[in-house]
Amino acid sequence: MKKITFTMLRKTYILVSALLLTLNLNAKPKPDTRLYEMRIYYPAPGKYAAIVDRFRQYSTKLLEKHGMTNVGYWTPIDTNRKELIYILAHRDMAARDASWKAFFDDPAWKEVVAKTEANGKLVQKVDVIYLNRTDFSDDVRKSKKGDRVFELRTYTATPGHLSDILARFRNHTTKLFEKHGMTNVAYWTTVEKDAATQSKLVYILAHKSQEAGKASFDAFRKDPDWIKVRDESERNGKIVEKVESLYLNATDYSEIQ
């Protein structure tokens, strides 16, 4: 029987380690199946700065305490729009509901409310939009690069054509955005309450500035590659009914800057 030496064991260890590393590198990452929640806060008159500051000092920490992941916080560049827009991530809807219940029941949160709303409520209205990440979206991760602005874009498809819009983004549009200096941050589709209602495409881009973003889109729209893709995808009619765009600044406490 051949004697097993230390050198033989060492070589075997190296080979096994290399094999495991190769398998790990080739393994496909698990899809991001988390539920995302976009919340838009409309402050009471004169309370805009106060609601933004309450998140800075208290809310973000308490949200994390109760199992919610802070994804990003933004305010419109247009100062006439008094809104705080933020996105959270949850394991699923059940986890989301349980986390919010624990958050609102937390004595620490009740103390914050009593302290910050001694002179009246801070929030007038809250819009909530649930989102699922698309299969072509980059991973949604922390990225504190700074010195850039963000653009929130919402696409409403013509009836029955959301899949065509998603295919166009998956196969062409995201690459053309990068070509023209835009950074793809994340892409989602909305989760509608009524199953008969068609979802929308919601995504976030990053630009060096608002002016740079508009210049990039001007170049994108004139690009022959884009014109060809657009015409081919719309040979049987328009697939996009409406596009909404909102330029944003990240707050100083946003995980994405």
3-state helix, strand, coil in the chain (%, to 5): 40, 30, 30
Per-residue confidence (pLDDT) for residue 144, from 0 to 100: 81
Q: What is the mean pLDDT of the chain?
A: 92
Where residue 9 falls among pLDDT bands split at 50, 70, 90?
A: low
Per-residue confidence (pLDDT) for residue 207, from 0 to 100: 98
- β-bridge mates for residue 223, sequence order: none
Q: Please name which of 209, 144, 145 lies closest in space to residue 182, comparing C-alpha atoms.
A: 209
The packing angle between helices 224-233 and 210-222, to 10°, is: 70
Where residue 139 falls among pLDDT bands split at 50, 70, 90?
A: confident
Where residue 86 falls among pLDDT bands split at 50, 70, 90?
A: very high
8 A C-beta contact, residue 204 and residue 185? yes
Give the span between the Cα atoms of 257 and 253, in whole angstroms: 9
Largest Cα–Cα separation, the chain: 87
Q: Given a cut of 90, is residue 6 above it in pLDDT?
A: no
160 by DSSP, 3-state: which?
coil
Q: Please name which of 42, 64, 38, 39 lies closest in space to residue 51, comparing C-alpha atoms.
A: 42
b/e per residue, 64-77, with b = 16+ CB within 10 A? eebebbbbbbbbbe
Q: What kind and span of H or E run contains 8? A: helix 6-26
Give the span between the Cα atoms of 24 and 22, in whole angstroms: 5
Per-residue pLDDT tens for 211-252?
999 999 999 999 999 999 999 999 999 999 999 999 999 999
